[in-house]
Chain A
Amino acid sequence: MNRRLLGVLFLVAFTLLAAVTAGAYAGRQATTTTLTMWSYDNQDPGLEPVLKQLSKDFEKSHPGVKINVVFKSFTDLVGTVPRALASGSGPDVTEGNQGYQTDAQLVKAKLILPLTKYIKKYKWDKLYAPSTWGMFRWTPDGKSFGKGPVWGIAQTGQNVVAFINRKKLIAAGINPNKLPRTYAGWERMLATLRAKLPADDPVIEAGNKSGYGFIHIFGGIWGAYVQPQSVRNWVYHVPGSRYDSAGTIKALGRLQAWAKAGYFNDDYNAVQEDAAAGVFAKGKGAMWIGGDWDSTIIKEGLGAKNIVVMPIPPGPSGQWASIGGLSGPWHISAKTKYPDLGAEWLNYVITSTRAKALMFSQQQIPSDKSAKAPAGDAYLGQVSKAFQQVANDDGLLLYTDWASPSMYTTLQNQFQLLLAGRQTPAGMAKAVQDDWAKFDKTLR
């Protein structure tokens, strides 16, 4: 009887506590304007410290304003943001994702604002090359990608590159200052690494748990076999584009061959891409191929002097290419009470000198093409150069999961099957093209 009473008292006490805290909380929502922003740029730590610091600075210069930045994982955010915005009590400013899964939906359902007037006000058109704006353009019906008004704006440049452990190169007899400049040479280098490294050390430490790991890695191989413009056309649903070209199938075959040859760690499906970066930073594997937004944790783990950064070299065309583009697009909610404040915040975060300095200090490349990396930081110089190399060659392949709402899952499943040897390159190409075609029909 006593214990039961105690248990009931516990329950009652908890509920009372809850009620009291609720009351205190309600009282505290006084007269501040709170701007809520969602982001997934907190990988290791990525932009998180930058955004946190910038929000403190912004609050100081805007008394009465509070910036609330909420970080979610990429898959959690894109899975919940359309409904959050539709509910009317969601974020005021949020990161989205270019492509048909997220941004097209947001535009079609009128959940975000076109940025035309803010581009004019803040002169954002100077930020990127004209063709780069394509990834933020949608016709208001959400059907045509690459045309129409601009709906989003990105904070950093992004690129998928290889981060290579210098010591392991030397141990395998490879000169880190004379790395291959062709794709063929790159493949030879991988084979050498596999031969010389201990059997339980992977050549490439990979993390594919969330599915984008291999989408990224594949880009470097792909660029050696196809024309980047053809990929971009496919992503933008230019009629007649195809994924299952001979070049793509060959490239998929190469990725599968890498897996068969044992280049990857065998737990890649259980580890997330950013976690794999962390593991690489602690000394496992000869290289990690992924987004340059993870450059900080790698630098902290291995030491800047110990890393070589480069995109996977070009194929016979000589054109540098990789999966990349800009970071996730920032949108302003159509239901926010403070659109102008939101735009001002975005302007601060993307174009101010303070912001750019902070970004560089975190090894992030500002999207503003006029931003210059501070001299004297060799590592940052490498990362920046890798981005410029691809961007200047017009080799950014964008992200292929943008091509349809279900493309992300399709690619994720197909890559996993391909690498496990349960799917052929031609089979995968067909499956991906089928997904594209099925969705393409709904756009016509």
Chain B
Amino acid sequence: MTAVRIDRLGTYFVLCTFSLLALYPVLSILFLALHRKTDLVSGFAIPTRIDLSSFEAAWTEGHFATGFKSSFIVAGAVTAASAVLSIGTGYAFGTMRFVGDRIVFPIILLGIIFPYEATVIPLYYDFQDVPLLHWNLLNTYWALILPQIGQSVAFGTFWMRAFFRSTPPSLIEAARIDGASSFGVLWRVLLPQAMPAVLTMSVLVFTYTWNEFLLALVLVSGTETHQTAPLGLSFFAGASRATDPTKVAAAAVLVALPILLVYLFLQRHFVRGMLAGALKE
């Protein structure tokens, strides 16, 4: 293999090609979505005119008003809760040493690679009939929120711990010497500096939660009222793709839109989050 150093022009050409590759699938459903139901779509399906009727149809028939509401509530709750909890755990693991910390932390790390497949079965049955309390939490937001907080805390702990560990110990020592309590140190000294890290963690957790499918399929597919947007898309596609692919394409675009919008404005945080492990000092 001879790697020839491509000059700057070549580099841009390569980067542009691959960027187009990355974009194309999204573009392709966007093109599809801009067609009318009665258009015969084939090949590249580049629209000759912009027609938003498929988006309208998708929104109303796919009941995405409900789907979006559910997705926002779940993703919002999970993000907020896991941020708060992870700041706590990250702070502890990152700046303190306590009995058992070396054992507990790796156990928490395990949660990052945990597949929901490993826990979805008991989650289903335990939510159907909560032990001791005998509640039925299926088809409620709790069924989606609680497990995802659990899993997000794993990632959040890893993330915030890394951040807190990177703060200069002298900062903490100084505050301590001034008589600040552990909470005071966190609240007044560390947290203001931690906002970028918290924001990064939040956008990632929000994205993963928004996109989660298996949990929704198992735990909230019983009623339409609590379905998340991706789940709604899956059912909608199953029921309508054969007859109206443009409508389904429009629905797909709608489901991807919120994350894309947030990404557009906060992309630096997404990227930083994903590259963290390697780019950390």
Q: Do chains A and B touch in the complex (CB under 8 A)?
A: yes
Is B138 in the interface zone, CB < 8 Å from A? yes
Whole-angstrom distance between the Cβ of A408 and the nearest chain B Cβ = 16
Q: Select A89's contact among B222, B239, B258, B261, beta carbons within 8 Å.
A: B222
Give the most central of B139, B217, B242: most A CB within 10 Å.
Answer: B242
Known interface pairs A18-B69, A44-B243. Does A87 touch B138 (Cβ–Cβ under 8 Å)? yes
**A70 contact set on B, CB distance < 8 A:** 224
Q: Looking across the interface, which residue of chain A has its beta carbon closest to that of B70? A: A18
Contacts of B128 in A (CB 8 A): 86-87
Q: How far is the CB of B88 from chain A (nearest CB, A)?
A: 21
> Given contacts A4-B265, A8-B199, A70-B224, are A76 and B238 in contact (CB under 8 A)?
yes
B136 contact set on A, CB distance < 8 A = 87-89
Evaluate whether A11 and B69 lie within 8 angstroms (CB atoms) in the complex, with A72-B238, A84-B222, A274-B242 already known. Answer: no
Q: If A4-B265, A10-B261, A18-B72 touch, does A83 touch B222 (CB 8 Å cutoff)?
A: yes
- B238 near A75: Cβ-Cβ < 8 Å: yes
| Chain B residues whose CB sits within 8 angstroms of the CB of A278 once the complex forms | 242-243
A2 CA to B266 CA in the complex, in Å?
10
Is A14 at the interface (CB under 8 A from chain B)? yes
Is B65's beta carbon under 8 Å from chain A? yes
**Distance between Cα atoms of A285 and B186 in the complex (Å):** 72
Answer whether residue A192 sits at the interface, using C-beta atoms and an 8 A cutoff: no
Q: Does any Cβ of B come within 8 Å of A314's Cβ?
A: no
Interface centre among A11, A70, A71 (most CB of B within 10 A): A11
- A20-32 vs B, CB cutoff 8 Å, 1 = contact: the mask equals 0110010000000
User: A218-246 toward B: CB 8 Å interface, digit per residue (1/0)?
Assistant: 00000000000000000000000000000
Give the nearest-CB partner of A36 in chain B.
B223
Q: When A22-B69, A87-B128 are in contact, do A73 and B239 touch as well, CB less than 8 Å? A: yes
Distance to closest chain A CB from B178 (angstroms): 29
Enumerate B49-76 residues with CB–CB distance to A below 8 Å.
Answer: 65-66, 68-69, 72-73, 76
Q: Which residue of A lies closest to B80 (CB)?
A: A15
Question: 8 Å CB contacts to A: which residues of B125-176?
Answer: 128, 136, 138-139
Chain B 210-247, CB-CB to A under 8 Å as 1, else 0, gives 00000001100111100000000011001101110000
Q: Please determine whether A6 and B222 come into contact, CB atoms closer than 8 angstroms.
A: no
Majority SS at the chain A contact face: helix
Size of interface on B: residues with Cβ below 8 Å to A: 36
Q: A11: which B residues are within 8 A, CB to CB?
A: 76, 206, 262
By a CB distance below 8 angstroms, the chain A residues around B239 are 40, 42, 71-73, 76
CB of B246, distance to nearest CB on chain A (Å): 14
- In the complex, B124 has a CB within 8 A of chain A: yes
A6 to B267, CA, bound (A): 12
Tell me how far the C-beta of A338 lies from the nearest C-beta in chain B, rounded to whole angstroms. 16
Interface string of A281-307 (1 = CB under 8 A from B): 000000000000000010000000000
Closest to B242 in A: A275
With contact pairs A7-B266, A278-B243 given, residues A87 and B139 touching in the complex (Cβ less than 8 Å): yes
Give chain A interface residues in 56-101, CB to chain B under 8 Å.
70-73, 75-76, 80, 83-90
* Other-chain residue from A36, A75, A271, A274 in contact with B243 (beta carbon distance below 8 A): A274
Q: Which of B73, B138, B222, B224 contacts A18 (CB 8 A)?
A: B73
The closest CB in chain B to the CB of A5 belongs to B265
Chain A 33-67 interface 0/1 with B at a Cβ cutoff of 8 Å (1 = within): 00010001011110000000000000000000000
- Provide the residues of chain A in CB contact with B222, threshold 8 Å: 80, 83-85, 87, 89-90
Cβ-defined contact, A6 with B69, below 8 A? no
Q: Given the complex of chains A and B, what is the CA–CA distance between A432 and B218 in angstroms?
A: 29
A389 contacts partner chain B, Cβ-Cβ < 8 Å: no
Residues of A within 8 A of B234 (CB): 76
A90 to B221, CA, bound (A): 9
A272 within 8 A of B: yes
Residues of B within 8 A of A83 (CB): 124, 138, 218, 221-222
Question: Within 8 Å of chain B (Cβ to Cβ): is A3?
Answer: yes
Establish whether residues A89 and B223, one from each chain, have CB atoms under 8 Å apart when the complex forms.
yes
In the complex, are the beta carbons of A84 and B262 less than 8 A apart?
no
Known contacts A8-B199, A11-B206; is-contact A84 B242 (Cβ 8 Å): no
By a CB distance below 8 angstroms, the chain A residues around B268 are 4
Could you say which residues of chain A place their CB within 8 Å of the CB of B124? 83
Give the distance in Å from the alpha carbon of A87 to the alpha carbon of B241 in the complex.
Answer: 28
1/0 contact trace for B241-274 toward A, CB 8 Å? 1110000000000000010011011101100000
With a cutoff of 8 Å between Cβ atoms, the chain A residues found around residue B138 in the complex are 83, 87-89
Contacts of A4 in B (CB 8 A): 199, 265-266, 268-269
Task: Point out the residues of chain A lying under 8 angstroms from B218, CB to CB.
Answer: 83
Closest to A15 in B: B76
Chain A residues, CB < 8 A from B258? 14
Q: Which residue of B lies closest to A73 (CB)?
A: B238
Q: Chain A residues with Cβ under 8 A from B69's Cβ? A: 18, 21-22, 25
A18 in contact with B266 (CB, 8 Å): no
Complexed CA–CA distance, A297 and B244 (Å): 13
Residue contact B265 to A10, C-beta cutoff 8 Å: yes
- What CA separation (Å) do A21 and B64 show in the bound complex? 12
| Complex contact B261–A272 (CB within 8 A) | no
Q: Smallest CB-CB separation from B264: which chain A residue?
A: A7
Minimal beta-carbon separation of B45 from chain A (angstroms): 17
Can you give 6 A-B contacts (C-beta < 8 A)?
A: A3-B266, A17-B72, A44-B242, A70-B224, A72-B235, A89-B136
Contacts A10-B265, A45-B243, A278-B242 known; 7 new A-B pairs at CB < 8 A = A6-B265, A8-B266, A22-B69, A75-B238, A87-B138, A87-B222, A275-B243
The 8 closest A-B pairs by CB, nearest first: A7-B265, A73-B238, A84-B222, A275-B242, A18-B72, A7-B266, A87-B138, A90-B222
Residues in B lying within 8 Å of A, measured CB to CB: 65-66, 68-69, 72-73, 76, 124, 128, 136, 138-139, 199, 203, 206, 217-218, 221-224, 234-235, 238-239, 241-243, 258, 261-262, 264-266, 268-269
